[in-house]
């Protein structure tokens, strides 16, 4: 069932913040915090490529990279998830280089691509908060604002998870969910 703008919706039934490993999530799509080459790396990108197997890299080679803030989709291969949505968050450079806009774009473009592929359940990592150095207190508020804003505009997504790999991230993303959900 597609919700339309203005339909009643309980955000906490749809969005959750979970401690865990994104490669284990049994969802239609997981999101990868990739780099512009889309050819793999460390962090969550490395974990996704090693769990999905070498066919993921083969498909990524055909994509020709991805600009920061945009998103591309591949199959999930050996992952439980059917799809991997690869997005590229910004490198934090002090905040005056459109970092917030680019991180918003990364979430929004991932959500738009997910809907194009009929995805109902999706898991995100904390994009840009690792190697790319985006302050987690800013990234978490922005992530939840963007996701919830998208859901309110009408969406077929029924399950949106933010997967946190450590307690600190879990603390910030949980608080952000609580703050944003209470605005609805």
| Of the candidate residues 3, 43, 98, 137, the single one contacting ligand AR6 (CB under 6 A) | 43
Ramachandran region, residue 154 (left: φ > 0; alpha: ψ -120 to 50; beta: rest): left
CB of 74 to ligand AR6, least distance (A): 15
Q: Is 2 exposed, middle or buried (0-12, 13-18, 19+ CB in 10 A)?
A: exposed
Task: Confirm if 157 and 16 have CB atoms less than 8 A apart.
Answer: no
CB atoms within 10 A of CB 140: 27
- Cβ closest to ligand AR6, residue 22 vs residue 73: 22
How many whole angstroms separate alpha carbon 43 and alpha carbon 77? 19
Q: Give me the least distance between CB of 124 and ligand AR6, in Å please.
A: 9
Instruction: Decide if residue 89 touches ligand AR6 (CB under 6 A).
Output: yes
Q: Which is nearer to ligand AR6, 3 or 171 (CB)?
A: 171
The question of whether 45 is a catalytic residue gets the answer yes
**Phi-psi map region of 42: left, alpha, beta (phi>0 left; psi -120 to 50 alpha):** beta
Q: For the CB of residue 21, give the shortest distance to ligand AR6 in the complex, in Å.
A: 4
Residues paired with residue 159 on neighbouring β-strands, in sequence order: 121
Which one from 7, 21, 45, 159 is the annotated catalytic residue? 45
90 is written with which tokens?
Answer: 């910004």
Closest to ligand AR6 by CB, 37 or 152: 37
**Among residues 16, 41, 65, 181, the one that binds ligand AR6 under rule CB under 6 A:** 41
Query: Minimum CB separation from ligand AR6 for residue 153, in Å?
Result: 25
Query: Site residues (CB under 6 A) for ligand AR6?
Result: 21-23, 33-35, 41-45, 47, 89, 125-132, 163, 165-166, 169
Active-site positions? 45
């Amino acid at each position: 069932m597609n919700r339309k703008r203005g339909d009643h919706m309980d955000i906490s039934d749809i969005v959750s913040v979970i401690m865990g490993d994104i490669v284990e999530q049994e969802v239609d799509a997981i999101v990868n915090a990739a780099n512009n080459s889309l050819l793999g790396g460390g962090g969550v990108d490395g974990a996704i490529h090693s769990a999905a197997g070498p066919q993921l890299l083969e498909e990524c080679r055909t994509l020709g990279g991805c600009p920061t803030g945009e998103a591309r989709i591949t199959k999930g291969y050996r992952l439980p998830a059917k799809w991997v949505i690869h997005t590229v968050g910004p490198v934090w450079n002090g905040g005056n280089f459109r970092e917030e806009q680019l991180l918003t774009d990364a979430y929004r473009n991932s959500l738009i691509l997910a809907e194009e592929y009929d995805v109902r359940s999706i898991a995100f990592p904390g994009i840009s908060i690792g190697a790319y150095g985006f302050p987690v207190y800013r990234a978490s508020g922005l992530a939840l604002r963007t996701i919830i804003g998208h859901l309110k505009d009408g969406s077929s997504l029924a399950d949106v998870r933010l997967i946190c790999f450590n307690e600190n991230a879990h603390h910030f993303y949980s608080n952000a969910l609580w703050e944003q959900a209470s605005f609805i």
